[in-house]
């Protein structure tokens, strides 16, 4: 009865099908009709008022609530064992059952290696750091863990979010989520003026080697020239700290000084020129060490010298994850297609295969979308001006957003996630139907 409180130890009224819900609501006999209203939504209202544990019967009810309350931001949480609004009825038995595995990468964590800006700044020069992070994490999730349904979303300001939507990812425990996040945690923070990266032993793990290969290409092609890391004194000194021998550092400095006299007459990028000298000196030193090893008998090539070039690249550009976001099932994350309250930019999906081409300054904003809607409406009115019922015709037609850049964003969303996920869900529901028929739950003859 409405208003009656359930006992503190009452179990949420879910059955076996509810414990393993399909990922979307549907009329299908094997779908979980209560999946959507057990999902938490959090609204941030004007004045930074957080309204957590919102739940809705369906998408139409969510849309009505958004239109009525006009939240500045919408965050999505887990799917719970019961409607989040009824959580007080169930006490400790109210628990999250599933939630996408999520990752958050923010450019503020790269402020020590960015020369183009800091804090909330983002531009074409620092976007390559996000693009290469998308490539590395996406490849690892697919190749190491076998996940397929992965959505990358621009955060709307200075970073990217990743939603891993496979059933096996959504049902990971907190401990398992922490383990997956730790797998990607090669970057270990800073110590004694330089970043620490986990490159232990003489041979890198194949996954780390793959990431290093991605970074080596990006380092020369985009990262180093974009950030101009070897053009000023402090950044040059910081990079030289990664070289394991003082003699090697001095040799590099001497060649830099010699090259400086020629730099003014060369079209080559200064940072690339100086990086080339570092590479050349390291390789010369390695060749010397190998030669001594052959003639001296007991000399062994020093591991740090072999690894120092990769260490420099990975210390500057390997993905820096916000680990806490990934570890807990009940962590909130901003919804895709939200409008960032500080920038007005829409949190649009990113195609990981074309992450390099993504322009964070070119995404739709509230202002630009309103302009596009007005322009499209005016064009429809003009086209219908000579026809009977012009006013009526102007108000009809396709959904208005399809005349804006949101159409491209939705197409990316469908291509990169929704189409594959829908096919997988249909397969899962069909499989459940076959099982139900086999055990006599459904009276269906094939």
Q: Which residues are catalytic?
A: 40, 104, 106
Length of the chain: 446
- Can you tell me the distance from the alpha carbon of 184 to that of 216, in angstroms, rounded to the nearest whole number? 18
User: How far is the CA of 145 from the CAs of 150, 202, 358, in angstroms?
Assistant: 12, 25, 26
- Can you tell me the distance from the alpha carbon of 57 to that of 34, in angstroms, rounded to the nearest whole number? 8
Contact call for residues 95 and 80 (beta carbons, < 8 A): yes
Q: Which helix (H) or strand (E) holds 384?
A: helix 366-384
Contact call for residues 70 and 84 (beta carbons, < 8 A): no
163: β partners: 102, 151
- Can you tell me the distance from the alpha carbon of 326 to that of 172, in angstroms, rounded to the nearest whole number? 11
- Can you tell me the distance from the alpha carbon of 446 to that of 437, in angstroms, rounded to the nearest whole number? 9
Helix (H, G, I), strand (E, B) or coil at 266: coil
Q: Which residues are CB-contacts of 336 (< 8 A; sequence separation ≥ 6)?
A: 151, 153, 161, 163, 347, 348, 349, 413
- Can you tell me the distance from the alpha carbon of 292 to that of 190, in angstroms, rounded to the nearest whole number? 34
Helix residue ranges, H only, 88-205: 127-143, 167-170, 174-183
**Structure token pair of residue 308:** 């120092």
Contact call for residues 337 and 161 (beta carbons, < 8 A): no
- Can you tell me the distance from the alpha carbon of 327 to that of 162, in angstroms, rounded to the nearest whole number? 13
Please give the distance of CA 64 from its chain centroid, rounded to a whole number: 29
Helix residue ranges, H only, 219-365: 224-227, 233-240, 246-263, 270-296, 303-317, 323-327
DSSP code string of 39-78: EEEEEEETTTEEEEEE--SSHHHHHHHHHHH--SEEEEEE
């Amino acid at each position: 009865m409405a208003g009656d409180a359930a006992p503190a130890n009452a179990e949420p009224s879910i059955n076996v099908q509810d414990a393993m819900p399909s990922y979307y609501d549907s009329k299908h006999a094997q779908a979980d009709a209560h999946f959507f209203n057990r999902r938490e939504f959090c609204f941030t209202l004007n004045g930074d008022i957080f309204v957590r544990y919102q739940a809705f019967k369906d998408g139409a009810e969510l849309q009505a609530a958004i239109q009525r309350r006009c939240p500045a931001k919408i965050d999505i949480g887990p799917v719970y064992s019961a409607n989040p609004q009824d959580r007080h009825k169930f006490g400790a038995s109210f628990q999250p059952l599933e939630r996408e595995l999520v990752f958050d990468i923010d450019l503020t964590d790269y402020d020590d290696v960015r020369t183009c800006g800091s804090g909330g700044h983002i531009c074409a020069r620092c976007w390559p750091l996000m693009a290469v992070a998308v490539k590395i994490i996406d490849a690892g999730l697919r190749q190491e863990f076998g996940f397929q349904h992965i959505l990358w979303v621009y955060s709307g300001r200075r970073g990217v979010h990743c939603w891993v939507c496979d059933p096996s990812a959504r049902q990971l425990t907190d401990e398992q989520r922490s383990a997956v996040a730790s797998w990607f945690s090669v970057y270990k923070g800073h110590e004694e003026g330089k970043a620490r990266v986990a490159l232990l032993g003489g041979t890198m793990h194949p996954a780390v080697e793959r990431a290093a290969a991605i970074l080596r290409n990006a380092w020369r092609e985009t990262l180093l020239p974009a950030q101009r890391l070897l053009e000023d004194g402090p950044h040059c000194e910081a990079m030289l700290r990664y070289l394991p021998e003082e003699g090697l550092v001095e040799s590099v400095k001497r060649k830099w000084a010699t090259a400086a006299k020629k730099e003014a007459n060369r079209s080559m990028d200064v940072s690339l020129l100086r990086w080339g000298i570092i590479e050349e000196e390291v390789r010369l030193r390695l060749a010397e060490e190998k030669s001594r090893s052959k003639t001296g008998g007991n000399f062994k090539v020093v591991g740090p010298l072999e690894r120092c070039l990769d260490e420099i690249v990975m210390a500057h550009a390997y993905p820096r994850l916000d680990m806490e976001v990934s570890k807990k099932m009940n962590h909130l994350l901003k919804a895709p297609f939200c409008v960032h309250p500080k920038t007005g930019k829409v949190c649009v999906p990113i195609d990981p295969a074309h992450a390099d081409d993504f322009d964070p300054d070119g995404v739709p904003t509230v202002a630009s979308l309103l302009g596009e809607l007005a322009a499209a409406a005016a064009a429809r009115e003009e086209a219908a001006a000579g026809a009977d019922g012009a006013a009526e015709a102007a108000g009809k037609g396709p959904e208005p957003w399809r005349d804006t850049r949101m159409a491209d964003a939705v197409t990316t969303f469908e291509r990169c996630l929704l189409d594959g996920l829908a096919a997988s869900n249909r397969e899962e529901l069909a499989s459940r139907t076959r099982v139900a028929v086999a055990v006599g739950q459904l009276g269906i003859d094939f």
